[in-house]
Structure 1
């Protein structure tokens, strides 16, 4: 795999995480750059690990992973999106109730849900002449950058649309899940 293709792959793998990060940033009370970097690192590490796992699974389980990855991602993103929408409609004090940061578990689950496709890509990379460590590092770094920017962009959008940004973020997560499901089902 040439370096240009690897860079394109890395940024393509991080687009859904970027969209999710915008929603995460919008649902926080004025997130700082340090929180954006923390979120970016959590997403980046998970996004880097999943192609390594996929690569290790290899050809033996390729059919199983490819047959179920879209359903797993869809279900996780749907549930997370519904949770965000529920929180967006809760009757509470708008700015006072927004957290300063998201818990590690919710970020890790969101990151995993948006990186299920990287697991399948990892399986595919097992059959291509590519250094999987370099590919995983590129995917992780691109995701860290994109998610950090997404959280900060979400901060700006959150001040414009207020509490309803969490509802929008939840809808975006559900749309990402639906898109992943649609893309996989339309290919079959």
Structure 2
């Protein structure tokens, strides 16, 4: 029974992190949705973002396992510090009001830049999870699922919501990652 509770705790942690990382896609999706977006573009953007939320943490996890083998016992502290920095940066960006408003999401280049910009945090978290040897398949599938769903929700909500909601989503995601960073350091 103890093995089941540990596995359930790890899966719950991965889901919470996936939701936190999806908040960036959610908040930027609201901004794009406010400008007006067709349903076909919502689907296309969400699928590409989901793909990036799979590939970026996968690359990060592979790199994280390598870094973990180099760092040995201090890997947990380094991973916690990375999450602190990443979460702090997300909160800072949300408070400053930075956005990707100039990207044309309908062009191939704009689609790729937008998807990369909302998925780059997943790479950093993937490095951290690679240091902990997290279950790779579950992690990338959850990150992809929630990245795609959160972006779709943001795009759809952006069609109907006010602009002030966007920053709160990114800030909440940053607070969650910052909290996990603190927990890893304690």
TM-score range, shorter-chain basis?
0.5 to 0.7
Moved over 6 A (4+): none
Counterpart-to-counterpart distance in 1, 2:84 and 2:49: 19
- TM-score in terms of structure 1 length: 0.63
1:156 aligns with 2:156: no
Change (3 A) 1:32 1:84: farther
Distance 1:156 1:116, change over 3 A: farther
In the alignment, which residue of structure 2 is the partner of 1:14?
18
TM-score scaled by length of structure 2: 0.63
- Of residues 170, 174, 177 in structure 2, which corresponds to 1:173? 170
Cα deviations by residue, 1:25-68 (Å, 9 ceiling, x for unpaired): 33221222333233323432332234423432323243433322
- What is the distance in 1 between the residues matched to 2:59 and 2:28? 26
2:103–2:114 contact (8 Å) kept in structure 1? no
Q: Does the 8 Å contact 1:25/1:150 carry over to 2? A: yes
Which residue of 2 is the match for residue 53 of structure 1? 59
1:68 aligned to which of 79, 82, 88 = 82
| SS at 1:101 equivalent | coil
For the pair 1:140 / 2:144, whether they are aligned, the reply is: yes
On the 8 A contact 2:84/2:178 being kept in 1, the answer is yes
RMSD: 3.7
1:109 aligned to 117, 127, 137, which one? 117
Distance of aligned partners of 1:155 and 1:110 in 2 relative to their CA distance in 1, 3 Å threshold: same
